[in-house]
Chain A
């Protein structure tokens, strides 16, 4: 029996939900709008909402001043690279935990998650020293490694919860048909786990893209990603609202678009598969 909903109630719901939704989204919307204003319009009082002289000059100035593409490229390499590396290391681990569980599997999983609790700041200096010694400071490969390590527990956890949902009988059937371990993983498991792997990848790209402790503290000029690009606008340039807005929009746009397109997969990813 479907609940009968009066259209009046539906209207009220719609108005309420849209109001709240727009309110939450408003800071982003306002930032995007401001990025198209002149500096004078950006601080006009009372504020101008839609009726102002739209301009693209802020984007041109930001690009000229700080070479956006270089930061963007660093972000892509660091977020993509650390996720890819993490997946390569985590898939076998999650596979063995899900299909050949031992008494200690649960403990190992818990321990892995607990390494996430290790406060980054507690180990900042040792990592810093090691980076200097190994010549990794301000390199993309250094950040790829660090971000892979801090996100590895999450990747293993997520893949584990996805793999566990794949019925073991299918693997046994494949084994009976003479599939080796490699074929089993490559041709049976991977296709079934692909949606799970996809949401794991997405969530981790977002986490790595937005990570702002290690990326700020371990880079200078060469390997700095978008988090550092935007931090350079903190002050006193922050007072130029239109340019700050343009830079902000440029920093968040790629991930915002990616996130919106993939929100269905993300929802599952975000819950670590623990909420259905």
Chain B
């Protein structure tokens, strides 16, 4: 029963948020697009004031034909996919475990959530030095204790190491959301199935998992948004070496390290396209799920 008056008031109240976000999206995007068609090397004397040379699609072609482009896409997808896989699977198992009756549930939950509060730079540094260092790291001690040769984590197993660090950070989030969803499961339904003699796995597959589908969607959506742009974990641990250069990191290097703004901007446009492909895909699912 909204009146004309309240409608225009509503539009007015929405305006600041919409205008700010529109500006935040359009202004840098336009600039990035503009730079991506220009030769722009600030260190070689190119500057906005003197006018930039138009180079057409040269930056786009060069960015894609660079030998690091496809590996960076691959690395990005492996990291995102790997972390999603680990956090969702372990998250489900942990959520089921934490849902069981036990002593000190509150404390355990606090322990499990803790990694979520640790800033990425800290967790990357701590893992890199105190745990994964091949000489003094705790994992090296553990390996030696069992008589094994310590692993050079971040150089020999760089991608799995980074996936592990990032998964550790995001597991709490997945667990918490899945736990909340499991707790809303109708326990009578489970009991009925139990009495009918349905084995544990069947009960899980036909009752628990379908109930969790919405929560799993949310976990995947939100984590993907954040994982596509992970930066600190790579910046601190390997600085993009040993095959850990994600698309984000590659662009960062082009723009800030080699100071090639045109090339980096073309890369930025690719990153935006990639993110949008993922976004459209996810929005479809979530949009459907959120209407319910």
Contact = CB atoms under 8 A, between A and B. Distances in A.
Nearest to A24: B112
A275 B9 contact: no
Interface string B13-42: 110111011001101110110010000000
B151 interface: no
Size range of the interface on B?
A: 35 or more
A259 B125 contact: no
Interface string B50-68: 0000000000000000000
A125 to B, nearest CB: 5
Given A10-B102, A17-B98, A125-B261, A118 B25 contact: yes
A204 interface: no
B129 interface: yes
A125 B35 contact: yes
Main secondary structure of the interface of A (DSSP, over half): helix
A92 B102 contact: no
B32 A123 contact: yes
B163 to A, nearest CB: 16
Interface stretch (A27-35, A60-68, A134-142, A186-194): A27-35
A163 to B, nearest CB: 12
A45 B188 CA distance: 53
Contact of A255 (B1, B117, B180): B117
Given A3-B191, A259-B113, A275-B180, A241 B130 contact: yes
Contacts of B145: 46
Contact of B10 (A17, A100, A110): A100
B240 to A, nearest CB: 12
Contacts of B9: 96, 100, 181
Contacts of B98: 17
A179 B10 CA distance: 16
Nearest to B108: A21
For B25, B102, B279, the residue with the greatest tally of chain A CB atoms inside 10 Å of its CB is B102
A251 B119 CA distance: 8
8 contacts: A17-B98, A27-B123, A110-B287, A212-B231, A244-B130, A251-B122, A256-B117, A274-B290
